[in-house]
Homo-oligomer: A and B are copies of this chain.
Amino acid sequence: MSRRSGILEFAVLGLLRESPMHGYELRKRLNTSLGIFRAFSYGTLYPCLKTLVASGWLIEEPGSVPASPPATSRGVAPASSLAGRRAKIVYRLTAEGKEHFEELLSHTGPDAWEDEHFAARFAFFGQTEREVRMRVLEGRRSRLEERLEKMRASLARTRERLDDYTLELQRHGMESVEREVRWLNELIESERSGRDQRRSSPESSPQQDTTGATGGLPRHRDNTRPDPSDDTK
């Protein structure tokens, strides 16, 4: 009766909304597909999945189970056929789960502007209504501006007493924040000018819309081209 992680729960629901998956795969997507996400461990993920099932938002389905004994009878036949042969468990979002996620998507508390929370929200902007996107972006921005002011103030108070390294660290920190603010400005600007491509209809299914529908994101240098000598493996 606990494990209400917020961000993990949110991300899991969001990923499963796109397509059913088993835990192992889910975890990898958590680490890679979404931008900022740090690596959640299995010790976190699996219990979380359990509670989501208990809440009725997910159901477990047998994955590619070796349902009928495969041709190779090599394996020692399990003493008791009941003693659940462990197999892949595929998790699928239930209708209630979908509804719940939709609700999470739409309400914007001040938690939503904190670092990791914000990244999670942004990662699912594709399924978020425009109005909400705006609120989140603007909330995040003012959160950062607030932070900047504090930094400036504290720096003004103490700059004489600090050595060069501490100063440089603060300078770099502030510059990072300023940079994110500029980024948000661009995003907000292009949300404002872009057409409202995600209508408010609750019946929009995800998945498609890879047709460049997301209108007005600012153009940036594409640093992801095939990169001839990439290979990675």
Please list the residues of chain A having a beta carbon within 8 angstroms of any beta carbon in chain B. 32-36, 119, 122-126, 145, 148-150, 152-159, 162-166, 168-176, 178-179, 181, 183, 187, 209-210, 212, 214, 217, 220, 223-224, 226-227, 230, 232
Looking at A164, A175, A223, the one whose CB has the most chain B CB atoms below 10 A away is: A164
Contacts of A33 in B (CB 8 A): 154, 158, 162, 166
* Tally of this chain's copies: 2
A163 touches B209 (CB 8 A): yes
Question: CB < 8 Å: which of B148, B154, B232 contacts A32?
Answer: B154
A165 touching B223 by the CB < 8 A rule? no
How many Å from the CB of A174 to the closest CB on chain B? 6
Q: Is the CB of A156 within 8 A of B126?
A: no
The reply to whether B35 and A172 contact each other, CB–CB distance below 8 Å, is yes
Q: Distance in Å from the Cβ of A216 to the closest Cβ of chain B?
A: 10
B residues less than 8 Å from A163 (CB atoms):
126, 209-210, 214
Pair B224/A152 contact, Cβ less than 8 Å? yes
